[in-house]
């Protein structure tokens, strides 16, 4: 479990670094040098990929709700990073929110049980497939919407669904890496489907609304929903008697994330504020 927690923390740090790099690259984009030619943006994509690999590794050792909660702490780390890099002034409520996030993450991590899940029911793939179909339908229905929050909600569910699909694959393959066995599992293709839904929805949400509000809806959804579904669907263990601590930790982390996502420190203009 300690290995999984360390790798999840590394993924959180990488996610935060990737966001800062991509934000700075986006701020430097021009017509002559579009976003796809910005080195910092491209490096940010590579760092994002490394973070995803770490997330997959962490899901081999930890329940989904623990991994997702740790990843949600990236927004607190980003708030601190903007203070150091951009000279952003953290409001008193931002400092309280950071403490709330950290305390919530500690409670969530401590509430994870040590026992291994007994297995997953054979209907898991069908449930994940049905949910993916619903999300694809929602994405199509929202293609002309002017509101960002429904798309951010779908994005959070999409990226959260990738964690559920990864756990379904990993639970089946307890041994070494088996490419043939991996490609033979429906969860592998569900993972791709959820990722595409999340990516498209998040991109469209950012084009329709304020990044702070989009981040709040996206992060809260991605942290809370997959973790609770994994407990019910995949049998992720909770330490006996620690359900109140788990709920309290999630509420603290979510509250902190919402406050920080709406903080002015989250949407500075890197091209003007980056400390060189």
Q: Is the pTM of this model over 0.85?
A: no
Distance CA(56)–CA(160), nearest Å, equals 12
| Beta-bridge partner residues of 105 | none
Q: What pLDDT band is residue 271 in, cutting at 50, 70 and 90?
A: very low
State in Å, rounded, how far the first CA of the chain is from the last one. Answer: 39
Distance CA(69)–CA(59), nearest Å, equals 12
Contacts of 76 (CB under 8 A, 6+ apart): 97, 98, 101, 102, 256, 257, 260
Q: What is the mean pLDDT of the chain?
A: 80
Dig out the tokens for 62 from the structure. 């930890």
DSSP at 142: T
**What average pLDDT does range 38-59 have in this prediction?**
86
Q: Please tell me the total number of residues recorded for the chain in this structure.
A: 276
Q: Which of 20-34, 91-105, 178-192 comes out lowest in average pLDDT?
A: 20-34
Q: What pLDDT band is residue 244 in, cutting at 50, 70 and 90?
A: very high
Distance CA(52)–CA(14), nearest Å, equals 9
Dig out the tokens for 216 from the structure. 């709040």
Q: What pLDDT band is residue 266 in, cutting at 50, 70 and 90?
A: low
What confidence tens digit (pLDDT) does each residue in 135-176 have? 999 999 998 888 888 998 998 899 899 989 988 885 554 555
Q: 235 phi and psi, to 5 degrees?
A: 75, 25
Q: Which of 20-24, 198-202, 250-254 comes out lowest in average pLDDT?
A: 20-24
DSSP at 23: H
Domain locations along the chain: 1-114+267-276, 116-236
Q: What pLDDT band is residue 60 in, cutting at 50, 70 and 90?
A: confident
pLDDT at 11 over 60: yes
Largest CA distance in the chain: 59
Judged by DSSP in three states, 238 sits in strand
Percent of the chain with pLDDT over 70: 83
What confidence tens digit (pLDDT) does each residue in 70-114 have? 888 877 787 778 777 767 777 888 888 888 888 888 888 788 877
Judged by DSSP in three states, 112 sits in strand
pLDDT at 215 over 90: no
């Amino acid at each position: 479990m300690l290995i999984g927690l360390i790798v999840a923390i590394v993924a959180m740090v990488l996610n935060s670094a990737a966001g800062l790099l991509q934000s700075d690259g986006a701020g430097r984009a021009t017509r002559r040098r579009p976003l796809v030619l910005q080195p910092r943006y491209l490096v940010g994509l590579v760092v994002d990929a490394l973070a995803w690999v770490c997330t997959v590794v962490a899901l081999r050792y930890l329940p989904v709700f623990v991994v997702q909660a740790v990843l949600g702490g990236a927004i607190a780390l980003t708030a601190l990073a903007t203070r150091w890099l951009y000279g952003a002034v953290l409001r008193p409520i931002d400092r309280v929110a950071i403490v709330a996030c950290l305390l919530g993450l500690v409670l969530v991590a401590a509430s994870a049980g040590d026992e291994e899940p007994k297995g997953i029911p054979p209907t898991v793939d069908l449930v994940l497939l049905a949910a993916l179909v619903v999300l694809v339908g929602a994405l199509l229905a929202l293609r002309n919407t002017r509101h960002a929050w429904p798309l951010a909600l779908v994005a959070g569910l999409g990226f959260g669904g990738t964690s559920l699909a990864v756990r379904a694959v990993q639970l089946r393959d307890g041994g070494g890496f088996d490419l043939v066995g991996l490609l033979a599992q429906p969860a592998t293709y569900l993972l791709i489907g959820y990722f595409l839904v999340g990516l498209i929805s998040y991109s469209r949400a950012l084009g329709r609304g304020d990044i702070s509000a989009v981040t709040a809806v996206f992060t809260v959804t991605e942290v809370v929903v997959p973790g609770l579904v994994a407990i019910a669907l995949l049998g992720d263990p909770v330490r006996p008697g620690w359900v109140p601590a788990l709920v309290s930790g999630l509420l603290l982390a979510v509250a902190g994330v919402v406050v920080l996502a709406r903080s002015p420190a989250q949407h500075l203009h890197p091209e003007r504020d980056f400390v060189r």
